[in-house]
Amino acid sequence: MHFSGDDVRFYSSKLAASAAAVGINQGISFACVVCILYADSSLSNKIYTKEEKMAEEGTVISCHSLDAWNEQLQKGNDSKKLVVVDFTASWCGPCRFIAPYLGELAQMLPDVTFLKVDVDELKSVATDWAIEAMPTFMFLKEGKIVDKVVGARKEELQQKIAMHKPN
């Protein structure tokens, strides 16, 4: 069983909030978080793989490996859909600010594929795509870059999607 840093952060904050509500010291141990993660995941009859979870959510698809990245690019090319790639970093404040908005767009626009690449996790991809600032959004059609937005600019992001997505 594998849990991401996001899972640990989520459950750590959940445990800290619960502890604060009943007046317990906010210092929590990693072991407690792991116990909660295990208990939470064992409540389900099925443990989902990352790929199954991504497909189930139907929102922004996180690419955690070079194989996953290449597979998603190929799917985008084959589908001829607009692909919006969010090059992000876990430590980036503007990236965290724009992430929920990107999720909303993904839910509202099923005819657009939204991918997320952590530049620290997939350094070779970030280098190949000449990413110098986060967040950077690349807009692809049939494997070709058609546009780019640098920064957490909601309005510009929405305008570029409207401009490039199929009608």
- Among candidate residues 32, 35, 63, 95, the one labeled active-site is 95
One-letter amino acid for residue 91 of the chain: W
Residue with structure tokens 């208990």?
Answer: 39
Annotate 19-43 with DSSP letters as a single string. HHHTT--S---HHHHHHHHHHHHHT
Nearest to 137 by CA among 86, 92, 91: 86
- The answer to whether 92 is a known catalytic residue is yes
Residue with structure tokens 């090059």?
Answer: 87
Nearest to 138 by CA among 124, 127, 148: 148
- Confirm if 84 and 141 have CB atoms less than 8 A apart: no
Residues labelled as active-site residues: 92, 95
